[in-house]
Amino acid sequence: MKNDQAILFFLIIFLAIGIVSCGGKTDTKEQELTLNEVESMGSDSARSGLNNGSSFNQINTAPNEILLTGIDRVRLFTLYKIKQGQDRNILYDEGTSYYEHPENDQEDFHKYFMPGIDIIHGYNLVNIGHYNLDKDTLTYFFEKPVLIKTLYFPGVKKDTVNGKAITRNYFLVSVYNEDTNRDSTINNRDMRRFYFFDELNSKKTSLLPENFSAIRSSYDYKNDIMFIHARADLNGNGTPETKEPVSIFWIKLENPTIIKKII
């Protein structure tokens, strides 16, 4: 009996190690862009929605489903990097951060994690298409491929802040969009930027200082404020490191174009 338990124990440990190893490999090896891939697909090729070139230096992309937004005339679609002959990187069901209150519909209870803002987390998500139905125009958030970590966009469903109806008319994106550590790839070892885009994708604003990399965010529902934790790149090597200090910034979601530093 003891031998059987020992065998079972080591089998569980072996499986656990395998799962962790696979997870780490997925993060660092598959979710990245080489500089050749970035340069091979500028805004013109991105505009077509799909690049079928067979050259190693070309990036293969595919759009996913159209995203409804709380701005009736604006629809988004997500553009993913895929390997030749595979589509497993595309998140067919991209989900939503909307949820119902488990007990009753209290007036002051918001139904999105951040009121009025839906969220998508990216995996090999390389661009966001912005389509204006009124003008029949398609533009992109980024001119070249990037690695989008999180997309924040106006939610379709009604929501409230402190009991008052709320609507949003902008987009926020956290993204790896530059080879800041100069290793010829764009991945999660680079600096993570945080951008604001206006309703019509005519204005793009970088919210964090150039030498800070976004780590995570949280929400203060009493003041409708988003807190952003960011790490300073003190040694200038283009990689946020755990030994480097973390600061906290905040933006008012009513008008997120101005960011303020707390510490």
Residue spans per domain, the chain: 31-261
> What is the pLDDT, as a whole number, of residue 11?
37
> The tokens of 214 are what?
């976004």
pTM: predicted TM-score of the whole model, two decimal places: 0.80
Give all strands (DSSP E) within 21-177, no chain letters.
Answer: 33-34, 61-68, 74-81, 117-121, 125-132, 137-140, 147-154, 159-161, 164-166, 170-176
pLDDT per position as a tens digit, 4-39: 444 343 333 333 333 333 333 344 456 899 888 887
pLDDT per position as a tens digit, 74-125: 999 999 988 766 666 666 667 777 766 545 555 556 788 899 999 999 888 9
> The tokens of 163 are what?
């009991």
Diameter of the chain measured on Cα atoms: 73
Q: For the residues 188-197, what does the mean pLDDT come to?
A: 97
Residue with tokens 């500089």: 35
- Where do runs of H (alpha helix) occur along the chain? 2-25, 35-40, 43-47
Question: 32: how many CB neighbours lie within 10 A of its CB?
Answer: 19
Partners of 130 in beta bridges: 76, 139
Check if the beta carbon of residue 177 is closer than 8 Å to that of residue 142. Answer: yes
As a whole number of Å, the CA-based R_g of the chain is: 21
262 or 101, which is more confident? 262
Give the separation between CA 192 and CA 211, rounded to whole angstroms. Answer: 10
